[in-house]
Amino acid sequence: MILRQQYLTKIKDHINNPMIKVIKGIRRSGKTELLKMTIEILKEINIDKNQIIYINYESFDSMEFRNYKKLYQHIKNKYEEINKKLYIFIDEIQEVESWEKAIRSIRIDIPSDIYITGSNANLLSGDLATLLAGRYIEIEVYPLSFAEFKIFYEDILKGINTVDQFKYYLRNGGFPDLINIKQEEKVINNYLKSIYNTVVLRDVIERNEIRNPEQLKRILVYIMDNIGQITSGSKVIDYLKGANNEKLSTTALYKYIDALENALIIYSAKPYDIKGKRLLKRSEKFYLSDLGLRHTVLGYKENDISQMLENIVYLELLRRGYEVYFGKINQFEVDFVAKKGDKIKYYQVSYSILDKLVAEREFRSLEMIEDNFEKYVVTMDMLDIKGRNGIKWLNIIDFLEDIEDNIK
């Protein structure tokens, strides 16, 4: 079992406190293994195994507890049996209808330390969020970062230079279980297809009772093919009409998009007015939770390398705890405005800026920004490139391996 320290550190800080630990992420991103790692930590500090309850709702063994009343009664019975504090781990809790009623009652009635996972961005929303205000922490788990990928694949990547390691990561993505299958393109592709089918069919179509699943898939294909591009509802609707003569309202379209976001398949970056320091009206850029899903649907497109790099930087900024937008300043665009508290960082992402015209374009956007926050141009270039006017150049691999920023 390879430890994912970035997440474990956050969980360790809250063991044995009354906060409910809510761990969310796309299916197969490693939430289950994180729960098991936490259980091992409890055993190391001499918590009796009888005090630990683990329920995984992807397992048939948990079918009898899919009713929230039965779930509550099962845990209450366990407490009455041992009369000791319980450590409760519930995996994919959204499979229990009205699960929030059980969790709220367990927290009130039973001395316990509660950990739950789910594959839904809105796992804690509405009434439950209000009821538990200040009583839970949310930890989002993403597929492997490049730094984690190098640890997971250490034996496989021995003797391979860092650039080729990055290309391997770029092509296959970061779902942790990929390390456990045969490292052949066909086998990897079949595994990624199985994740795609499970996530789309189960987490989106079934959960949202989608009546036209093929239309949903076509919308997802459009988003996959246009990651990092400014997208409006009208663009997607025109695409559907041109490709299949389909009619779709803006309201219906955004119901599809919201369902994909809730399943944590896609993320959206909203536009941010850098001069006015405010969010703008709805038009957005979409990014994928893992590029491996894109390649299993569309194939690996070498010409889309800049889009892929932008996707990777976007996800890395999310992992590091930033709120991420794309910037607008006059007629110029900035790929990312990354905010954390009162700190802002600006990023432009490009495959290369060795061409003078490309370099001028990338630096010029950042030079338009008049504040003194840090500004970066991130590329795949291996030569040492000088920044200009206080704007720094970063090789993308160096950026992804910047552990110091990663832990801030």
For 162, the 3-state DSSP assignment is helix
pLDDT in the model for residue 407:
42
Cα–Cα distance for residue pair 320/408, rounded to 1 Å: 7
Band (pLDDT 50/70/90 cuts) for residue 406 is low
* Domain-terminating residue out of 104, 123, 140: 140
* Domain-terminating residue out of 140, 156, 173: 140
Count the residues in the chain: 408
317 in a domain, yes or no?
Answer: yes
- String of DSSP letters for 277-326: TEE-SS-EEEEES-HHHHHHHH---GGGHHHHHHHHHHHHHHHTT-EEEE
Cα–Cα distance for residue pair 188/57, rounded to 1 Å: 26
227 in a domain, yes or no?
Answer: no
For 86, the 3-state DSSP assignment is strand
Band (pLDDT 50/70/90 cuts) for residue 402 is confident
Q: Which two tokens stand for residue 187?
A: 């086998």
Average pLDDT, the chain: 91
Q: How far is CA 313 from the centre of its chain?
A: 12
108 in a domain, yes or no?
Answer: yes
Kindly tell me if the per-residue pLDDT of 84 is higher than 90. yes
pLDDT in the model for residue 63:
87
pLDDT in the model for residue 129:
62
Cα–Cα distance for residue pair 141/267, rounded to 1 Å: 14
Report which of 38, 56, 39, 36 is spatially closest to residue 48, judged by C-alpha positions.
Answer: 39
Kindly tell me if the per-residue pLDDT of 201 is higher than 60. yes
pLDDT in the model for residue 405:
65
Using CB atoms within 10 Å of the CB of residue 189, give its burial: 0 to 12 exposed, 13 to 18 middle, 19+ buried. Answer: middle
pLDDT in the model for residue 128:
59
163 in a domain, yes or no?
Answer: no
Cα–Cα distance for residue pair 230/44, rounded to 1 Å: 49
| C-beta separation of 63 from 96 below 8 A | no
What is the domain-level CATH number for residue 93?
3.40.50.300
Report which of 92, 89, 99 is spatially closest to residue 67, judged by C-alpha positions.
Answer: 99
Using CB atoms within 10 Å of the CB of residue 19, give its burial: 0 to 12 exposed, 13 to 18 middle, 19+ buried. Answer: middle
Kindly tell me if the per-residue pLDDT of 252 is higher than 80. yes
The single-letter DSSP state of residue 67 is B
Name which residue leads in pLDDT, 133 or 325. 325
The single-letter DSSP state of residue 249 is -
Write out the E strands in 192-298: 230-231, 266-269, 271-273, 278-279, 284-288
Cα–Cα distance for residue pair 364/362, rounded to 1 Å: 6
Count of the separate structural domains present in the chain: 2
51 in a domain, yes or no?
Answer: yes
Report which of 39, 99, 110 is spatially closest to residue 77, judged by C-alpha positions.
Answer: 110
pLDDT tens, residue by residue, 129-150: 666 666 888 899 999 999 999 9
90 sits in which H/E element: strand 86-91
The single-letter DSSP state of residue 200 is I
What is the domain-level CATH number for residue 357?
3.40.1350
pLDDT tens, residue by residue, 205-247: 998 999 999 999 999 999 999 999 988 888 899 988 887 788 8
Cα–Cα distance for residue pair 75/108, rounded to 1 Å: 13
Q: Which two tokens stand for residue 47?
A: 């918590």
Report which of 392, 228, 220, 364 is spatially closest to residue 309, judged by C-alpha positions.
Answer: 228
Cα–Cα distance for residue pair 144/167, rounded to 1 Å: 14
pLDDT in the model for residue 343:
93
372 in a domain, yes or no?
Answer: yes
End-to-end CA distance of the chain: 25
40 in a domain, yes or no?
Answer: yes
* Domain-terminating residue out of 121, 140, 159: 140
Domain containing 388: what range? 301-408
The single-letter DSSP state of residue 204 is I
284 in a domain, yes or no?
Answer: no
Determine the average pLDDT of the residues in 152-176: 94
Name the least confident of 29-33, 119-123, 300-304: 119-123
Name which residue leads in pLDDT, 329 or 91. 91
pLDDT tens, residue by residue, 101-130: 899 899 999 999 999 999 988 877 655 566
Determine the average pLDDT of the residues in 317-325: 96
Name which residue leads in pLDDT, 233 or 42. 42
